[in-house]
Each structure stands twice: as C-alpha cells, then as structure tokens.
Structure 1
Amino acid sequence: MEQSLPTTSQPTTPQEEHKEAKERSAPSSKIIHEAILREGHEELARTSGALFWSGLAAGLSMGLSMIAQGVMTHYLPDSPWRPLVASLGYSLGFLVVVLGRQQLFTENTLTPILPLLERPTWRNLRNVLRLWGVVLVANLLGCLTLALVVENTGTFEPAIRAEFTHMGHEVLAPSFGIVMIRGIFAGWMIALMVWILPFAGTGRIWVIILITYVVGICHFSHVIAGTIEVFTLAATGEVSWGQALVGFTVPALLGNILGGVLLVAGLNHAQVVANEPKGNAA
C-alpha cells in the first residue's frame, strides 16, 4: 500500500500569503519606534518617587557587574585570555537591571527622548529633565551605598577587594577627553540595545549579554558601572571623591548622553520622520 506523505498547510489565497509574509518579516523601524515611543510615554508618566526607588535598585544591581568581574578575575589564571572570560561578569548587572525593569540612566537616553522629539515642548523637556535627574541621583546613591558596603565590611576577602581597587584605577587612568569619547561609544551601544530589545523575543538575554560584553571588553565608559568602581576606589582613600566624580563620572555622563541621544534617539527618529508622507509629518 502506498503511504501518504505528511503535508504541511500552505497559504492558499493571496490574503493568507500576505499574512504569512508579514509574520515572517522583520519589524520595520517605524514599528520599533512606535513601541519605544509608547514605553517612553509610560516612563514619563511615572511619579518621581517610583522613579527614585527603581533607580536606587538599579544602582545597587549594577554593582553586580563589578563584583562578578572582579571575582572572576581573581580566580582565573593570570594569562592573556583572562580579561576575555572575566568580562562576561560585566554583563550580570545589566541583565538584572534590564530584565527586572529597573531604571538605569543610560537606557533613558533613548526611551523618554522619543516623546520629546515627537513633541518638542518646554513641558516635555522639563519632564525629561525631571526623569533624568531623579534616575541619575538614585543610580549614584545606589553606587555609593554599594561601594561603601564593599569596602567597609568583610563581605569580600582582601585579595578580591584588591581586584576592585585595581579596576577603579584602570577606569580613572584615561584623560577627561578619552573617558568622554569612550562614553559616547558606551551610550551608543546601550541605547542600541534598548532599540533592539522590544522585538528580540527569546534572544533578549543574548542581546544584553553580547552588547554589554563588548562595552566591558573594550573598556567603554558606562557612567553607572564605572562609577561604582571609582566610588569603591574612593572609599579606600586612595583618591578623593572629587577625583572620582570629575575624573570619570562627569565625562562618562556627557559621553553617554551624546551617544544615546544623538547617535540612536536622534538618528532613528529622523529616519522614521523622513519616511513619513509630508502631509502627515507633524
């Protein structure tokens, strides 16, 4: 007897073919823009109190990047490939923050900026500055709290704390200008990560790991991740708090803003607006 081969259902009408093609195609830049725009409106509607507590949690969580990278560096053999493996620990804090929906300043160089670019009013600008100010202060307070706990308690053995100190010296070593340029790269990449994530699906974790791994291995200056390291160094008394802020936090902050706002938010918004019919452009 002849056995009938299993058949797969195929679209039989032009309408079904069009629907299947649409489902299989990548989302357009306009769809991604609309998804992030909607998220931006939601973030700007949150109260300052909600933003503060979420930002504080993010500042604390980002300390996991320093802890994981420092511990891995300590236990791995001293060889040329050690930084390639230890830098995987740098991604841990970002994973917790992004998947936990905590407020991280560098993510906000994209999300709330799109509503401002859509309607550039003084009211929207004040709201964006409110969000930025609350989240940044909360993130830095989280950095400070974690740095003081790490340095002034016996949570970690001296050899591991020495790794944290070494990381802080490395972050502070470049000049103001180099830190800012590296900050532009970091802000650009983190904002690109935020742009990609809404439609990354099951690959969200890998997108976060890969992009933040590159930020870490290239020593790009992320204002919050790096500030935890320089604050931990300042807590030892080897540098002053002013040196930590002026030598790293300020230039990294400027670079992150430029990279996120101009290279991602501005350019991606511009391409969407430029593709709209002239009669619909607002």
Structure 2
Amino acid sequence: MADNEEKNGETGTVEDLKSANALELHRAVREEGQAELERPTGSLFWSGVAGGLAITASLVAEGAIAAHTAPGPARPLLLAIGYPIGFLIVILGRMQLFTESTVTAMLPLVNAPSWGATGRTLRLWSVVLAANFIGTALAAAAFAFLPLGDAALHAGMLEVSMKITEHGPLATFVNAVPAGFLIAIVAWTLPNAREQAFFVVFGIVYVVAIGGFSHSVVGSTETFLLLFSGKIGGAQVLAFLAPAVLGNLFGGAGLFALLAHAQVREEGV
C-alpha cells in the first residue's frame, strides 16, 4: 500500500511538473475565450476603456526613454524597452485588449462554428476595439491638452509617434500581420507560463517593438496624440488604424488561431 501511495505521489509530482500540451492549451485558451464571449457588453466596454487608457503607458515609457537618451545606433533598442510596459499592465491586470482577443475569441468559433457564435465573436471584437480606442483617445487628449509630464516627455512621445507616418496603408497592413500573430502567441503561451508571465509578455512584445510591427491599439494612442497635437489630419488617422486593425486580425485570428486549431483538430478538441 505504501509503495502504491509513493508511486501515486511520484506520478502526481511528475504530472504537476509537466507543461500543458497543445490540446490542453487549446482547451484552456478556448474556455477563457468562451468566458469572455459570455461577459455582458458593459463589462467588456469598461474593461476595454481601461485597457486603452493603460496601454498608453507604452508610449509614455518610450517617450521618457527618448527624452533622456542621445541619438545612436542602439537607441531604437533602448526605446523598445518601454514598449511592453503598457501590455504588462493590461494583460497581467486582466483588462480587455483587442489583439489578445483575436485568438481567445476565435477558438470557440472555429471549434463549434455557427451564426450565433459568429455574432458573439463580432460583438466582442467590436465592443473591445471601440472601447480600446476611446481609452487611447482620452489618454492622448490628456497628454495633448493638459500639463501632464514635462516638455521633454511630450517631445519624446511625439518623436516616437511620428514613426507611424513612415508607412502607407499597405505597409501598415503588412507590418500589422506579424504583430497580431505575436500578440496571439502571448495569449496562447500564458496558461503554460503563469509564473513567468512577466518575462513571456515582455519578451514577445519587445520583439514586436524592435521589429517595427504595427499594433492597432498602441498605434491608435500615437495617431490620436499626433492628431490632437496638430501634426496629422483625420484622414491619416484612418489610413493607419484601418489597415492596422485588419492586419492584426489577419495575423491573430486568421493565421495563428486557425493554425493553433488545426494542430489539434484531429485529437478531439
């Protein structure tokens, strides 16, 4: 009896040490997405607004680094250190972020497709995206019109934001695809790395930053700041946001979510 208990104890310990396999990850992310789909619209909206406000910390951190570093070949790598800050706040704080929901909301749909599931998925995406943009617009307006921070910080934030004007709509779409794919990977890997969540989020989002990929929500903070500061017009805001959203969707829901489902489809998800 003691030997059996010892063996069972050893087996339990081994099972506890194992990482979840692809099928288990699929189930965990799918169940999380299903829970999001069932949340009331008001809850999604206010969580999305909070996420939009909080994601602005990425631009603030980048702007602060830009204000205190001299030009040089390594400067872009230093600026990128600030980029994951907002994502860490939003993801670890369990706020709604559009690009993270591309995979979590997509898995329940591809697992059991129906018109009702499609409607629930579109409701989630539209509410969260609109709420994220409201949050980023409010934050950008605060920095443009209120005496937040000092002149150096404001100049640094504008410097960082001006990078979005370097790409046209097609280039923005192309660069948004890998950003959507990588942020979807964050949502996929977190169930296997809860104790290392900080490093997982920071590392993957840092790659988005140094790669110069286009993220629709962080990018909306930059475009709104430029708009409210008189640097660009409304047409340029739309020329960035529309292709960035579509590219993020294609990378997250169109590529990663479908690949993540395809790898376990024959294993009885």
Normalization by structure 1: what TM-score?
0.90
Residues 77 and 210 in structure 2, CA contact (< 8 A), matched pair in contact too: yes
2:208 corresponds to 1:208 = no
Residues 231 and 241 in structure 1, CA contact (< 8 A), matched pair in contact too: no
- Cα deviations by residue, 1:181-211 (Å, 9 ceiling, x for unpaired): 1100000000001000012031110001001
2:258 corresponds to 1:273 = no
- Cα deviations by residue, 1:154-189 (Å, 9 ceiling, x for unpaired): 213233222222222211211211111110000000
Aligned to 1:6: none
Measured at CA, do residues 11 and 127 of structure 1 come closer, stay the same or move farther in structure 2, by a change above 3 Å? Answer: same
Aligned residue among 85, 89, 99 for 2:82: 89
2:94 corresponds to 1:73 = no
Secondary structure at the counterpart of residue 154 of structure 1: coil
2:124 corresponds to 1:131 = yes
Aligned to 1:98: 91
C-alpha distance in 2, partners of 1:58/1:164?
Answer: 19
Aligned residue among 237, 251, 257 for 1:259: 251
Aligned to 1:4: none
In the TM superposition, residue 235 of structure 1 has moved relative to its aligned partner by: 0.7
Q: Give the alignment's Cα RMSD to 1 decimal.
A: 1.8
Of the two structures, which has the highest relative contact order with CA contacts closer than 8 Å and spacing of 6 or more?
2
In the TM superposition, residue 118 of structure 1 has moved relative to its aligned partner by: 1.3
Residues 39 and 111 in structure 1, CA contact (< 8 A), matched pair in contact too: yes
C-alpha distance in 1, partners of 2:4/2:94?
Answer: 39
Structure with the higher helix share, 1 or 2: 2
Percent of matched pairs sharing the same residue = 36
Aligned residue among 155, 159, 165 for 1:162: 155
2:141 corresponds to 1:142 = no
Higher alpha-carbon deviation: 249-258 or 156-165 = 156-165
Aligned to 1:217: 210
In the TM superposition, residue 86 of structure 1 has moved relative to its aligned partner by: 2.1
Instruction: List gaps (5 residues or longer) in structure 2.
Output: none
In the TM superposition, residue 274 of structure 1 has moved relative to its aligned partner by: 2.4
The amino acid of 2:135's aligned partner reads G
Aligned to 1:5: none
C-alpha distance in 1, partners of 2:222/2:59?
Answer: 7
The number of residues matched between the two structures is 267
C-alpha distance in 1, partners of 2:244/2:4?
Answer: 53
Residues 164 and 233 in structure 1, CA contact (< 8 A), matched pair in contact too: no
- Cα deviations by residue, 1:82-130 (Å, 9 ceiling, x for unpaired): 2212211111100000011000000110111111111111011111111
Residues 107 and 190 in structure 1, CA contact (< 8 A), matched pair in contact too: yes
C-alpha distance in 2, partners of 1:65/1:157?
Answer: 17
Aligned residue among 227, 236, 242 for 1:250: 242
Residues 60 and 145 in structure 1, CA contact (< 8 A), matched pair in contact too: yes
Residues 175 and 213 in structure 2, CA contact (< 8 A), matched pair in contact too: yes
Aligned to 1:121: 114
In the TM superposition, residue 245 of structure 1 has moved relative to its aligned partner by: 1.7
In the TM superposition, residue 12 of structure 1 has moved relative to its aligned partner by: 8.6
Larger Rg: 1
Higher alpha-carbon deviation: 161-170 or 43-52 = 161-170
Aligned residue among 212, 229, 237 for 2:230: 237
2:182 corresponds to 1:199 = no
C-alpha distance in 1, partners of 2:146/2:254?
Answer: 41
The amino acid of 1:41's aligned partner reads Q
